[in-house]
Amino acid sequence: MLRGARGKQQVQVTKRSWNVVVFSIGGIKLAARTEDVGGVSPWTESIPVPSRTPFVQAMLKRENHVMPVYDLAARLSRTLIGSPLLCLVARHLDGPMAICIDADMPSLETVDATAIRSNGSEDIETHGTVTIAGNDVAIVALQRLGRSTQNIVTR
Amino acid sequence: MSLRGHHNSTNLPVETASFLVIRLGDSYVALPAEGVRGVLTQEEAGNEQAVTSAGTIFQPVDLAQRLSLVAHLSGLEFRTVLYSTGRSHSAIGAEQVIGLTEVERKDCFPLPPQFQRDERNWFQGMMLYQEQLVLILNPLWVLGESADVVPAPLEQGREMVAATPARIGESC
């Protein structure tokens, strides 16, 4: 009898590859999972907000919406390159967050999940590092960006 | 006989809040209007640090310095805002007084949860006014009735902050 056999034949699909967006900040190549990226658009001037939260000291206004800006370039001690700069919207756990990135248009890549290596330095929240076009690229965990710096004392 | 087309109109009360919007450097901040006791020119305020008005002494508050803002507090548009909660009275320097505005409470929205530190105590929310983002000051902090403390862990809305906030009345 064939009935019921189908269930046994179900194959568990495991995610073997990750789709990532590769972007750059101050010339450093970084990546983010595509599902963590809300979009990329031209950067518009941000509005400074008095704040003591590390790297969260501005807001971006888009029509009737505002979102906080995360200064990833400052965290990485890099100066952004090119013009016009771009805005990458991170789908952060606390809500959308704007990140200013280099003018280089981000690209889409597919990486083998088994090729992702854990990141030893932990300078920044990542899912690990992967080699793309011969370069080691950190996959930034946009969802939890900034959470490990919450205890940094400023001023 | 029915009166066709005649409807009982129900006017739901609209909750509003009034604010005095001021500018400090490039930042626009708002003070709840109920605490405003007066707005003085430099000449009216005089050169003394504290301002006495109607028998009340208003102690000077340098908001720009407390918020680490670069403001030019000596221009022609400089004003001193006399502010009181009833218990405390302060004379707040403003680079420019933008105006008095009344907003529906639904148009005030909270500071995004990514802002984690003292600023959560400085500002009780935000609003848009004349296309500008305006930060709504916490009057208790302004008047020194609330210390710089980091509030409890945040569990606010995780949606994009829009002009249609979920928590009416919490931000203004």
Q: Decide which of A138 and B43 is more confident.
A: A138
Does the distance separating the beta carbons of A67 and B160 come in below 8 Å?
Answer: yes
* Short-list B2, B25, B33, CA closest to B127: B33
Residue with tokens 């990750």: A18
Asked whether the beta carbons of residue A53 and residue B116 sit closer than 8 angstroms, the reply is yes
Q: Which residues of A99-131 are buried (b: 16+ CB within 10 A; e: fewer)?
A: bbbbebebeebebeeeebeebeeeebbbbbbbe
Between positions 62 and 101 of B, the ones with CB within 8 A of A are: 67-69
Report DSSP state, residue A106: P
Residue pair B42/B96 in contact (Cβ under 8 Å)? The answer is no
Domain count, chain B: 1
Question: A11 in a domain, yes or no?
Answer: no
> Does A7 fall in a domain?
no
CATH of the domain at A143: 2.40.50.180
ipTM over 0.85: no
Is B16 near chain A, with CB under 8 Å? no
Does residue B135 have a pLDDT over 90?
yes
**pLDDT of residue B151 exceeding 70:** no
Q: What is the pLDDT of residue B23?
A: 96
A129 vs B48: which has the higher pLDDT: A129
Mean pLDDT confidence for B125-141: 94
Determine the pLDDT at residue B164.
37
Arithmetic mean of pLDDT over chain A: 88
Q: What's the total number of domains in chain A?
A: 1
A residues 71-110 lying closer than 8 A (beta carbon) to B: 92-97
Confidence of residue A143 (pLDDT cuts 50, 70, 90): very high
* Contact flag B117-A53 (C-beta cutoff 8 Å): yes
- Is B115 within 8 Å of A53 when comparing Cβ atoms? yes
Residue B167 included in any domain:
no
Range of A142's domain?
A: 17-149
- Which residue is closest to B119 within chain A, CA to CA? A51
Nearest CA in chain B to A51: B119
Length of chain B: 172
Chains A, B: CB contacts under 8 A, how many? Answer: 75
Residue at A10 is within a domain:
no
What rounded mean pLDDT belongs to chain B? 83
Specify the higher pLDDT residue, B75 or B170.
B75
| Single-letter amino acid code for the residue at B76 | L
In a domain, A139, yes or no: yes
Tens-digit pLDDT profile for residues B66-95: 999 998 888 889 999 999 988 899 999 999
* Cα A23 from Cα A29, distance rounded (Å): 6
Quick one: average pLDDT of B159-163?
Answer: 46
Of residues B86 and A55, the one with the higher pLDDT is: A55
Calpha distance A116→B50 (Å, rounded): 63
A95: closest chain B residue by CA: B158
Residue A2 is predicted with a pLDDT of 44
pLDDT, one tens digit per residue, over A91-132 is: 999 999 999 999 999 999 999 999 999 876 667 899 999 999
The boundaries of the domain holding residue B63 are 16-142
Cβ pair B161:A50 closer than 8 A: no
Per-residue pLDDT for B160 more than 70?
A: no
| β-strand partners of A62 | A65
Q: Is the pLDDT of residue A26 over 80?
A: yes
**Six-digit token pair at B157?**
């809305």
CA A50, chain centre distance (Å): 24
- Where residue B103 sits, what CATH number does that domain have? 2.40.50.180
The chain B residue lying nearest A150, using CA atoms, is: B116
Asked if A20 and A32 touch (Cβ cutoff 8 Å), the reply is: yes
H-helix or E-strand containing A136? strand A135-140
Query: Given an 8 Å threshold on Cβ–Cβ distance, is B162 in contact with A67?
Result: no
- Asked, for residue A1, whether it belongs to a domain, the answer is no
